[in-house]
Amino acid sequence: MRKLFGTDGIRAVAGEAPLDRKTIYAVGLALAHQLNGSHAQPKVLLGMDTRESSGWIADTIAAGLREGGAQVENAGVVTTPAIAYLARQHGFSAGVVISASHNPWQDNGIKVFGGDGYKLPDETEVRIEAEIFRRLENVQAPGPDAAPVVNEKYRRDYEQFLRSAFPDLNLNGLRVVLDCANGAASAIAPELFAHLAGTIHLTHTSPDGRNINANCGALHPEVVAAETKNLKADLGVTFDGDADRAMFADAHGNVVNGDAIMLLAARDMKERGILRNDTVVATTMSNMGLEAALRRDAIRMLRAPVGDKYVLERMQQEQASLGGEQSGHILFPHLATTGDGLLTSLVVLDILRRSGRALHEIVADLKVFPQVIVNVRVREKKPLDQIATVTDTIRAAEAELAETGRVVVRYSGTEALARVMIEAESEEAMRRHADRIADAIRAELGA
């Protein structure tokens, strides 16, 4: 069982274990050693988001990588999917991103991609973890050092990749609101969209190290939705801190999440004959309404555990060409190896342009079951099936809801939270069961 890596890398409060200097240095050493086993002279590309801690964390892991025998290059502030693309495109042994995605500024994290542009498999992370713990017994935190000077060519190469994916896309006549979450998208989206014509209204593009995701971005899609309605824009797009996901807003100010985006993309891809096996892979968190809407178009929906890496694994097993999460991670493997918020926004805009229809029109028949998610902060992540009061409460909810709802209870892979998700035709039953399960978890494990 992994102790450092969650569903999306290592994540914690910056400066506190496991994101203290000593552990970060050990991560660099361990990763370099793992790469030395398969590469004669490993090369690693670094990227980061806009948190004030990202710079010193990049410096520290770079020191460990170099001490371990790896060459290191620096792409500076770029999105997570940019590093995935660039690592593969330029023949790096691995790509490392310093980011905590949608978390608040005090947190940070380390995400690692292989040279193929994919997130590391669980078994590789387990091996790296074991070596990190071994090295921590003897390693000392490094003195002042610095990551290599930023090479701007990498950001430009990634922007060119995005433009080349949709060379004929033109937004002339459209009004689009972009919320960059004061994160990594701030370094790329303004220039990217300037080439697409249209009227672009940029918001939250002034990172100061502490305002990333603060009342903005994909964690607060209602912000861009309100701005879209106020400006009478055609579409709103909002990214998270590292821009590996995107949420949307229609012209009426309604939030359009990843479920709706998978629906419109699936229909478009099926019509064009590129939806392999007429299959979409979602997660346990996707709404039952998506499943019903896809079924009407003779498209089957499969579910994977939460985490885009697990969605991708299921997609590869099923040879599927579309998958994603309700939270806005959408996977288009014919275009990229990982979820990419900027790329997803271009996909959606391209579909709207070709169809000549508005976003709300295309997804109007998506009837969403009432759904609630209750987050319970926990002091430890004890297996829930070992807590009788919790399992009994969950079983009671499942028995009552039967075919009219769903119960999903899981731990967050990136935070000390238990997430209780209830979906039901009856809103009263939904809230009642969500509160009961949350109370049971709080009584046993509440922080």
Per-residue pLDDT tens over the stretch 158-204: 999 999 999 999 999 999 999 999 999 999 999 999 999 899 999 99
Among the listed residues 431, 379, 380, 441, the one whose alpha carbon sits nearest the alpha carbon of residue 409 = 441
Dump strand ranges (E) for 197-318. Answer: 199-203, 235-239, 246-249, 255-256, 279-283, 300-304
Helix axes 427-445, 388-401, angle to 10 degrees: 170
b/e code 318-341 from CB counts within 10 Å (16+ = b): bebbbbbbbbbbbbbbebbbbbbb
Residue 320 confidence (pLDDT): 98
- Beta bridge mates, 347: none
Out of 96-100, 142-146, 331-335, 385-389, which region has the weakest mean confidence (pLDDT)?
142-146
Out of 69-73, 141-145, 236-240, 247-251, which region has the weakest mean confidence (pLDDT)?
141-145
Across 347-364, average pLDDT: 96
- Say how far residue 409 (Cα) sits from the centre of its chain: 20
- Residue 72, pLDDT above cutoff 80: yes
Residue 411 confidence (pLDDT): 93
pLDDT digits (tens, 9 = 90+) for 270-317: 999 999 999 999 998 899 899 989 999 999 999 999 889 899 999 999
Query: Does residue 110 contact residue 96 with C-beta atoms inside 8 Å?
Result: yes
β-strand pairing of 323-324 with 330-331: antiparallel
Cα gap 291→89, rounded to integer Å: 35
In order of 87, 97, 127, the CA distances from 116 in angstroms are 7, 15, 19
Cα gap 321→315, rounded to integer Å: 7
CATH number of 5-152: 3.40.120.10
- Residue 414, pLDDT above cutoff 90: no
Confidence of residue 348 (pLDDT cuts 50, 70, 90): very high
- Residue 408, pLDDT above cutoff 90: yes
Among the listed residues 413, 421, 416, the one whose alpha carbon sits nearest the alpha carbon of residue 438 = 421
Across 317-322, average pLDDT: 97
Percent of the chain scored above 70 by pLDDT? 100
Across 43-50, average pLDDT: 98
Among the listed residues 330, 340, 345, the one whose alpha carbon sits nearest the alpha carbon of residue 171 = 345
Class for domain 156-252, per CATH?
Answer: alpha beta
Cα gap 270→112, rounded to integer Å: 33
Specify the length of the chain in residues: 447
- Residue 7, pLDDT above cutoff 90: no
Sign of CA dihedral 169, 173, 177, 182: positive
Sign of CA dihedral 80, 85, 90, 91: positive
Across 319-336, average pLDDT: 97
Is the whole-model pTM more than 0.75?
yes
Asked if omega into 370 is within 30° of 0 (cis), the reply is no
- Residue 38, pLDDT above cutoff 80: no
Residue 444 confidence (pLDDT): 95
b/e code 363-391 from CB counts within 10 Å (16+ = b): beebeebbbbebebebeeeeebeebeebe
Among the listed residues 59, 52, 47, 31, the one whose alpha carbon sits nearest the alpha carbon of residue 142 = 59
DSSP state of 380: -
Among the listed residues 36, 158, 164, 51, the one whose alpha carbon sits nearest the alpha carbon of residue 98 = 51
- Residue 144, pLDDT above cutoff 80: no
Which amino acid does the sequence have at 405?
G
- Which residues have C-beta within 8 Å of that of residue 323, sequence separation ≥ 6? 262, 280, 281, 282, 304, 311, 312, 314, 315, 330, 331
- Residue 426, pLDDT above cutoff 90: no
Cα gap 30→268, rounded to integer Å: 44
Residue 447 confidence (pLDDT): 85
The structure tokens 């000392």 sit at 140
Residue 274 confidence (pLDDT): 97
Query: Does residue 110 contact residue 4 with C-beta atoms inside 8 Å?
Result: no
Residue 206 confidence (pLDDT): 98
- Residue 23, pLDDT above cutoff 80: yes
- Residue 261, pLDDT above cutoff 90: yes
Which amino acid does the sequence have at 36?
N
Cα gap 142→67, rounded to integer Å: 10
Class for domain 256-340, per CATH?
Answer: alpha beta
Architecture category of domain 371-445 in CATH: 2-Layer Sandwich (3.30)
- Residue 39, pLDDT above cutoff 80: no
Q: Average model confidence (pLDDT) for the chain?
A: 95
Percent helix, strand and coil across the chain, each rounded to 5? Answer: 40, 20, 40
pLDDT digits (tens, 9 = 90+) for 97-131: 999 999 999 999 999 999 999 999 889 999 999 99
The residues carrying an active-site annotation are 101
Residue 413 confidence (pLDDT): 80
Confidence of residue 145 (pLDDT cuts 50, 70, 90): confident
Cα gap 268→356, rounded to integer Å: 13
Query: Does residue 254 contact residue 332 with C-beta atoms inside 8 Å?
Result: no
Question: Given this chain, do its domains 5-152 and 156-252 carry the same CATH topology?
Answer: yes
Confidence of residue 247 (pLDDT cuts 50, 70, 90): very high
Cα gap 203→221, rounded to integer Å: 12
- The most distant pair of C-alpha atoms in the chain lies apart, rounded to whole Å, by 63
Confidence of residue 425 (pLDDT cuts 50, 70, 90): confident
CB atoms within 10 A of CB 234: 20
- Residue 37, pLDDT above cutoff 80: no
Cα gap 284→420, rounded to integer Å: 12
Give residue limits of the domains in the chain.
5-152, 156-252, 256-340, 371-445
Residue 315 confidence (pLDDT): 97
pLDDT digits (tens, 9 = 90+) for 358-401: 999 999 999 888 889 999 999 999 999 999 999 999 999 999 99
Confidence of residue 146 (pLDDT cuts 50, 70, 90): confident
